[in-house]
């Protein structure tokens, strides 16, 4: 209320500036007028006029005096109010300057200092204290709050840094775990180490978040590895009993077949066939389970027996036509594997061709080894299935996990092929179906082909074994010269008296292929038998003089036999070259030795 | 693995030798002499080859069987094949011819009775 009242007061104050002079003048003028009125009045009215004029003047004087007193009072009030106003204005401007200083200078400085880590108390102490208590309080509150938030920010920052470090460390550990430790652990486990060994051996992450899942993973994996290994071992063990039983049954059946004829014989043959198929299935499973083949042969097996031994194990053996004129033998250690491999491939071919069509098996001898082609006339395999089959038989994937229900046979083929270095290839057959080409490398072939010499007479390309005796007698009857006969001179330990038929082409090779001490040197790609043959090439004739006791096997017995024969050969050296009648005998040799 | 002694026999089963047949024709007696008519040729089954070689001189079936270490029935089947191809010929022993000239069984029985009654 005082503020709006102010202008009125000011105006009245300005008006009252002239009043002290005005009032006495009014009194004088009115007194003069009253005197004049009294003087001018008629005599009779003079007392009345004088009285009235006096009374009127007294009234006016009283009014003027009162008014003057009021005016003075108002003037005094005005003066004091103006002073107050000035003081307030001063205060206001001072206050404004302080606020200005506070906002523009002090607060930023405070914030800066606090940010630089100076304590709140210190900052407050170093500041000019504002006069206004509110400002003082505000400054105080501001300082403490900012100090608090600065502290919180620093904490948060350090927390963040720590987190980042932890994260980087964790990432690094995770990387190491993923790329180094886990693969190493898995391969160790696959090799049969226990979980504790693996956990102790390798460098595991320290971070429990990583360590505990890794540990549990390893333990779980070790458990499943152990379980699968145990299952495999148990199956292999159980299967080995079945295998032994099957082999025993086959031997028994063979005995019975010798004893019985007629209808019983036919039944025995059927049983024999079933048992052989059973043997194939058992062998297949045993091989997949890491077991061994049911049989081991201690002598080379001629190709014909190999083919028959394979074909006899499949159900549709009557549909398989064998075209074999090779006299080569498969080394005993590989014979069972080769038979199993061929049986699986023939089984496959027979199963995937119409039941009236035949499966043809051809054997060729090539310098790269024995080539066996199995052709069916069934449906052509699709590219995808051929690729799958190729993959299975390549032997690169030996994991049981890759087994497919019906492809056990091909997986076994792959394993056997990888084991013996046999190459198995699928190709479309010219007969309309699928052909499988099996290449048996030379080291599996017990009887090597003679090296092709230009001056050596070759009775037939498919009868390489007939070649060694260039004498007319045996050249006239090339076919029956068996593989077994050839393998014998190979093992003659002593070079006997050279005879005229030693091929000249072999002589330099023989010299080149021996150490100064007389030991044979095996050139790469040649088998030991071939190397030895080169050394003892001079002695075929004497050994041929005793053809009936040939031992084709690579066993100690045959070596003793060879020694024995060699000892006897001295008397027979100049004796009979193989007579035609005797050519038949070596054929019985393997059986006779068996 | 049970380590059994290594196999010393042959891997081929008899039904693969005979091609699945178990019935032999009765053309061959145990003592029928077999003579080969030609030399073995390449690509023949090895048993055929051996029979042909063995029978360059007349050989009895039972001897062939013993030599080949094969049951009589199997040898009969093999010989049947060779015979059908004309590669062997069979000579029945002379005794077989005289079977027809032997006295009747009834007569012999009578003789037996007479002897017993003596």
What residues does each domain of chain A span? 2-93, 207-295, 301-446, 478-593
Which residues in chain A have Cβ-Cβ distances shorter than 8 Å to B20? Answer: 269, 317-318
| Chain position carrying tokens 């008014």 | A67
Confirm whether B9 is domain-assigned: no
Per-residue confidence at A282, pLDDT binned at 50, 70, 90? very high
Highest-pLDDT range among A332-346, A371-385, A473-487: A332-346
Instruction: Transcribe A258-320 into DSSP letters.
Output: HH--HHHHHHHHHHHHHHHHHHHHHHHHHHHTT---S--BSS-EEHHHHHHHHHTTSTTGGGE
Please check whether residue A422 is in contact with residue A444, taking contact to mean a CB–CB distance below 8 angstroms. yes
Interchain proximity A317–B40, CB inside 8 Å: no
* Portion of chain A with pLDDT greater than 90, in percent: 23
Cβ–Cβ contact B38 with A under 8 A: no
Give the pLDDT confidence score for residue A545 in this predicted structure: 40
* Helix, strand or coil, per DSSP, at residue B41: coil
The answer to the question of residue B110 being in a domain is yes
Residues whose CB is less than 8 angstroms from the CB of residue A266 and which lie 6 or more positions away in sequence, other chains included: B22, B23
pLDDT for B1 equals 40
Q: Is the model's pLDDT at B101 over the cut of 80?
A: no
Residue A261 is nearest to which of B19, B45, B71, comparing CB atoms? B71
Helices A19-40 and A46-101: angle between axes, nearest 10 degrees: 170
Out of A241, A296, A306, whose CB is closest to B6?
A296
**Is the pLDDT score of A18 beyond 80?**
no
Q: Is the pLDDT of residue B7 over 70?
A: no
pLDDT category at A523 given cuts 50, 70, 90 is: low
DSSP state, A445? B
pLDDT at A459 over 80: no
A538 or A63, greater pLDDT: A63
Apex A200 CA angle, A197 and A204, nearest 5: 125
Q: How far apart are CA A102 and CA A100, in angstroms?
A: 5
CA distance A121 to A110: 11
Q: Model confidence over A39-64: pLDDT tens digits?
A: 888 888 888 888 888 898 899 989 98
pLDDT surpassing 50 at residue A120: yes
How many other CB atoms are there within 10 angstroms of residue A565's CB atom?
Answer: 21
What CATH number should be reported for the domain holding residue B105? 1.10.10
Distance from C-alpha of B29 to C-alpha of B26, rounded to nearest angstrom: 7
pLDDT band of A441, cuts 50, 70, 90: very high
Element (H, E) at A386: helix A383-394
Residues of A in contact with B53 (CB under 8 A): 480, 583-584, 587
- Inter-chain Cβ pairs, chain A and chain B, closer than 8 A: 119
Mean pLDDT score, A456-475? 38
Q: Please give the pLDDT value at position A308.
A: 92
Nearest CA in chain A to B2: A240
CATH ID of A301-446, from 3.30.360.10, 3.40.50.170, 3.30.565.10, 3.40.630.30:
3.30.565.10
pLDDT at residue A398 greater than cutoff 80: no
| Residues of chain B with C-beta less than 8 angstroms from the C-beta of A292 | 1
* Average pLDDT in chain B: 82
Q: What are the chain B neighbours of A236 within 8 Å (beta carbons)?
A: 1
User: Quick check: is B8 in a domain?
Assistant: no
CA A541 to CA A565: how far, in whole Å?
A: 12
Compute the average pLDDT of residues B46-72: 90
pLDDT at A9 > cutoff 70: no
Res A165 pLDDT > 80? yes
Q: How far is B103 from chain A (nearest CA, A)?
A: 30
From the CB of residue A342, how many other CB atoms can be counted at a distance below 10 Å? 26
Domains of chain B: total: 1
User: How would you classify residue B86: left for phi > 0, otherwise alpha for psi between -120 and 50, otherwise beta?
Assistant: left
Render pLDDT for A300-336 as a digit per residue (tens, 0 to 9): 899 999 999 999 999 999 999 999 888 889 998 899 9
Using DSSP bridges, classify how beta strands A359-366 and A320-323 pair: parallel, antiparallel or unpaired: parallel
Q: Which two tokens stand for residue A231?
A: 């299952």
Question: Could A309 and B12 be called an inter-chain contact, meaning their C-beta atoms sit closer than 8 Å?
Answer: yes
Supply the mean pLDDT for chain A: 75
Give the residue on A whose Cα is nearest the Cα of B7.
A297
Mutation for testing the A interface, residue in B8, B9, B10 having most A CBs under 10 Å: B10
B72 near A CB under 8 A: yes
Query: Residue A423 and residue A501: Cα distance in Å, rounded?
Result: 37
Q: Is B66's Cβ below 8 Å from some Cβ in A?
A: no
Rounded Cα gap, residues A346 and B82, in angstroms: 28
pLDDT tens per residue, range A134-153: 888 888 888 888 888 988 99
Residues of B in contact with A270 (CB under 8 A): 15
Residue numbers in A near B72 (CB within 8 A): 261
Cβ–Cβ below 8 Å for A317 and B16:
yes
CA distance A522 to chain B (A): 28
Q: In this model, does residue A230 exceed pLDDT 60? A: yes
Domain interval for residue B65 = 14-117
| Closest CA of chain A from B104, distance in Å | 29
- Kindly give the interhelix angle for B46-54 and B72-85, rounded to the nearest 10 degrees: 80
Taking the Cβ of residue B25 and every Cβ of chain A, the question of whether any pair is shorter than 8 Å is answered with no
**What pLDDT score was predicted for residue A338?**
93
Residue A423: band (very low, low, confident or very high) from pLDDT cuts 50, 70, 90: very high
pLDDT at A520: 59
Distance CA A169, CA A67 (A): 97
> pLDDT, tens digit, for every residue of A72-119?
999 999 999 999 999 999 999 988 888 888 888 888 888 888 888 888
Contact A327, B28 (CB under 8 A): no
Q: What is the pLDDT of residue A465?
A: 38
Whether A161 has a pLDDT exceeding 90, the answer reads: yes
> What integer pLDDT is reported at residue A499 of this predicted model?
39
How far, in Å, are A181, A188, A415 from residue A173 at the CA level?
10, 20, 39
- The answer to whether the beta carbons of residues B37 and B86 sit under 8 Å apart is yes
What's the rounded Cα separation, in Å, for the pair A42 and A247? 185
B14 and A261 within 8 Å at the Cβ level: the answer is: no
Look up the pTM and report it. 0.58
Range A403-415 average pLDDT: 80
Average pLDDT over residues A249-269: 88
Q: Supply the pLDDT for residue A372.
A: 94
Count of CB atoms situated within 10 Å of the CB of A211: 15
Distance CA B41, CA B44 (A): 6
User: What pLDDT shows up at residue A389?
Assistant: 83
**Which pLDDT belongs to residue A482?**
38
Measured CA to CA, the distance from residue A567 to residue B71 in angstroms comes to: 37
Asked whether residue A466 carries a pLDDT value surpassing 50, the answer given is: no
Assign residue A281 a region (left: φ > 0; alpha: ψ between -120 and 50; beta: otherwise): alpha
Residue A179: DSSP 8-state:
I
Q: What share of chain B is helix, strand, coil (3-state, %, to 5)?
A: 45, 10, 45
| Residue A574 confidence (pLDDT) | 42
Report the C-alpha gap between A496 and A542 in whole angstroms. 8
Predicted complex ipTM exceeds 0.85: no
Q: Which two tokens stand for residue A101?
A: 């200083």
Inspect the interface and report whether the beta carbons of B7 and A257 lie closer than 8 Å.
no
The residue written with tokens 């023989």 in the block is: A510
Contact of B14 with chain A, judged by CB distance below 8 Å, is answered with yes
Asked if A462 and B13 come within 8 Å (Cβ–Cβ), the reply is no
């Amino acid at each position: 209320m005082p503020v709006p009242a102010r202008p009125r007061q000011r105006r009245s104050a300005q008006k009252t500036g002239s009043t002290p002079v005005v009032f006495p003048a009014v009194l004088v003028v009115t007194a003069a007028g009253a005197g004049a009125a009294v003087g001018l009045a008629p005599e009779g009215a003079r007392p009345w006029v004088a009285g009235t004029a006096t009374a009127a003047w007294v009234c006016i004087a009283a009014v003027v005096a009162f008014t003057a007193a009021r005016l003075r009072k108002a003037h005094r009030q005005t003066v004091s109010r103006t002073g107050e106003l000035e003081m307030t204005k001063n205060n206001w401007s001072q206050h404004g300057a302080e606020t200005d200083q506070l906002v523009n200078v002090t607060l930023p400085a405070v914030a800066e200092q606090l940010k630089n880590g100076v304590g709140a108390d210190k900052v407050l102490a170093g500041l000019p204290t504002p006069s206004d208590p509110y400002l003082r309080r505000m400054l105080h509150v501001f300082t403490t709050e900012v100090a608090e938030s600065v502290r919180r920010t620093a904490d948060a920052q350090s927390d963040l840094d720590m987190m980042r470090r932890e994260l980087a460390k964790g990432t690094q550990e995770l990387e190491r775990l993923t790329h180094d430790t886990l693969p190493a652990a898995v391969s160790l486990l696959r090799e049969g180490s226990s979980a504790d060994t693996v956990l102790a051996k390798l460098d595991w992450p320290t971070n429990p978040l990583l360590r505990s899942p890794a540990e549990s993973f390893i333990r779980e994996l070790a458990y499943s590895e152990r379980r699968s290994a145990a299952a495999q071992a148990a199956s292999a063990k159980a299967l080995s009993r079945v295998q032994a039983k099957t082999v025993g049954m086959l031997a028994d059946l063979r005995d019975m077949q010798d004893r019985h004829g007629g209808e019983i014989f036919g039944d025995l043959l059927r049983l024999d066939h079933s048992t052989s198929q059973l043997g194939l299935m058992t062998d297949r499973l045993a091989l997949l389970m890491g077991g061994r083949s049911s049989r081991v042969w201690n002598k080379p097996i001629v190709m014909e027996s190999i083919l028959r031994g394979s074909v006899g194990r499949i159900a549709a053996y009557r549909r398989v036509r064998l075209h074999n004129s090779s006299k080569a033998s498969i080394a005993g250690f590989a014979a069972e594997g080769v038979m199993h491999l061929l049986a699986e491939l023939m089984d496959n071919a027979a199963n995937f061709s119409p039941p009236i069509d035949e499966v043809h098996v051809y054997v060729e001898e090539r310098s790269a080894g024995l080539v066996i082609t199995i052709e069916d006339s069934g449906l052509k395999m699709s590219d995808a299935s051929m690729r799958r089959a190729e993959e299975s038989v390549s032997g690169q994937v030996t994991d049981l996990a890759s087994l497919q229900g019906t492809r056990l046979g091909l997986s076994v083929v792959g394993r056997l092929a990888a084991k013996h270095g046999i190459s198995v290839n699928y190709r479309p057959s010219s007969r309309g179906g699928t052909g499988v080409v099996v290449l048996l490398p030379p080291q599996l072939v017990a009887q090597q082909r003679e090296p092709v010499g230009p001056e050596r007479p070759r009775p037939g390309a498919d009868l390489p074994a007939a070649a060694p005796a260039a004498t007319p007698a045996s050249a006239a009857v090339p076919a029956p010269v068996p593989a077994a006969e050839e393998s014998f001179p190979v093992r003659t330990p002593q070079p006997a008296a050279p005879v005229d038929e030693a091929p000249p082409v072999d002589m330099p090779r023989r010299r080149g292929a021996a150490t100064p001490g007389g030991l044979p040197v095996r050139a790469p790609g040649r088998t030991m038998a071939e190397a030895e043959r080169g050394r003892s090439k001079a002695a075929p004739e004497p050994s041929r003089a005793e053809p009936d006791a040939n031992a084709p096997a690579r066993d100690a017995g045959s070596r003793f036999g060879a020694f024995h024969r060699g000892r006897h050969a001295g008397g027979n050296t100049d004796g009979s070259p193989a007579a035609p009648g005797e050519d038949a005998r070596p054929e019985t040799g393997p059986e006779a030795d068996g | 693995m049970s380590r059994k002694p290594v196999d010393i026999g042959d891997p081929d089963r008899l039904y693969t030798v005979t091609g699945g047949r178990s019935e032999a024709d009765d053309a061959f007696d145990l003592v029928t002499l077999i003579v080969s008519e030609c030399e073995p040729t390449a690509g023949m089954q090895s048993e055929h080859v051996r029979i042909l070689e063995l029978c360059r001189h007349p050989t009895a079936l039972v001897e062939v069987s013993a030599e080949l270490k094969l049951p009589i029935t199997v040898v009969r089947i093999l010989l049947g094949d060779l015979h059908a191809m004309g590669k062997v010929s069979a000579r029945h022993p002379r005794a077989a011819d005289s079977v027809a000239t032997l006295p009747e069984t009834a007569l012999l029985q009578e003789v037996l009775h007479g002897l017993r009654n003596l």
